[in-house]
Amino acid sequence: MFRILESQAPAKQTATDTINTLTGRLQSATLLEDRRAAIQGLRSFAKSFPASVASGALRPLINSLKDDREDVDTLKVVLETLLMLFTPDENSPEASDEIALWLSDEFTQRQDNITALLDLLDTRDFYSRLYSLQLMFQISSARPERTQECILTAPLGIPRLVSALGDAREPVRNEALILLIALTPASEEFQKLVAFENAFDLIFSLIETEGALTHGSEVVEDCLSLLANLLRLNISNQSYFRETGCVKRLAKLLADVNQEQDLEEPTPQWALAHRDKNLWGLLVIVQLFLIKGGVNTPANQTAFWNNGVMEQVLNTAFGQRFNVNVTSKVGKTDSP
């Protein structure tokens, strides 16, 4: 009897069947509420079945970024689903490094896909800004050169990215910082355009807000990494750095960390490791200006002496308050 009933029961729907059904609804739905419901369903499968979801629904999801961008609730679900496709569960039978490449190819083969993500930085909505930055980081990690090209080509692409460094909300600001670090190591053109969007001022302001060298932790380290990317072997950016008064700000950071050591109240033990790492990072930046035989080196040396940078470097060297890695770096910084 039970076997007869089982044979008459409808076949169980597999995950693939459900995903295909939801994808069809997303593509055909005319009402926003119906599209959002379909996307919510796809989101529930994205972590476990990323390839199945992406194979049919990736383009409709990207289209929803453009078509439904005025509705923040729908946009949030779309962005969450796309991020899940980039970071599937480790135990998923479909998890593979190839998925990130496939997704990134789909995004970067059409300029307007990256432009759609950059457009979300124009809104003040927290999740739209945060998730769009996270998505661009994932895409850049897989296809860095293509992502750079798309951002360079997009209207106000770099200005919108750099302006996110000034977001008062720490998660958004930090994601912008991490993304810019990922985008700036190699392309001199990209570095120059970032610098000319007032990036140096934003970076120094962020360092000061986060506790400078003595009390700053990971965010200050990231700021120094971005600063190094923008200045390494980039003659134009080094000149711009000097001309915009940034050498004085460099000297002030060094002076503050040296003066901190003269106070009666010692630096807390937990902060010492970060302090020394931050100081080491700043000394690396000083070295970038003093490359032996470099075109800019004489002008950089003059600016550093006139603004007290080298005096503070010497104070660091003879203060005997920092670990051996810092003092060793000072020894390599004193002269080109």
Per-residue confidence (pLDDT) for residue 93, from 0 to 100: 85
Question: How does pLDDT run across 183-219, given as a tens digit for each residue?
Answer: 999 999 999 999 999 999 999 999 999 999 988 889 9
**Residue 7 pLDDT > 50:** no
Of all residues in the chain, what percent carry a pLDDT higher than 70? 88
Q: Yes or no: say if 258 and 312 are a contact pair by the CB < 8 Å rule.
A: yes
3-state secondary structure of 317: helix
Please tell me which residue, 165 or 14, carries the higher pLDDT value: 165
What residue ranges do the domains of the chain occupy? 199-335
Per-residue confidence (pLDDT) for residue 6, from 0 to 100: 43
**What does the alpha-carbon distance between residue 125 and residue 287 come to, in Å, rounded to a whole number?**
40
CA 241, 242, 245, 247 torsion-angle sign: positive
**Residue 147 pLDDT > 60:** yes
The mean pLDDT value of the chain amounts to 89
Domain 199-335 has CATH 3.40.50.300: no
**Residue 1 pLDDT > 80:** no
Picking from 106, 194, 102, the residue whose alpha carbon sits closest to that of residue 148 is 194
**Residue 4 pLDDT > 70:** no
**What does the alpha-carbon distance between residue 141 and residue 328 come to, in Å, rounded to a whole number?**
33
Question: How does pLDDT run across 152-192, given as a tens digit for each residue?
Answer: 999 999 999 999 999 999 999 999 999 999 999 999 999 99
3-state secondary structure of 68: coil
Q: How many residues does the chain have?
A: 336
User: Residue 2 is which amino acid?
Assistant: F
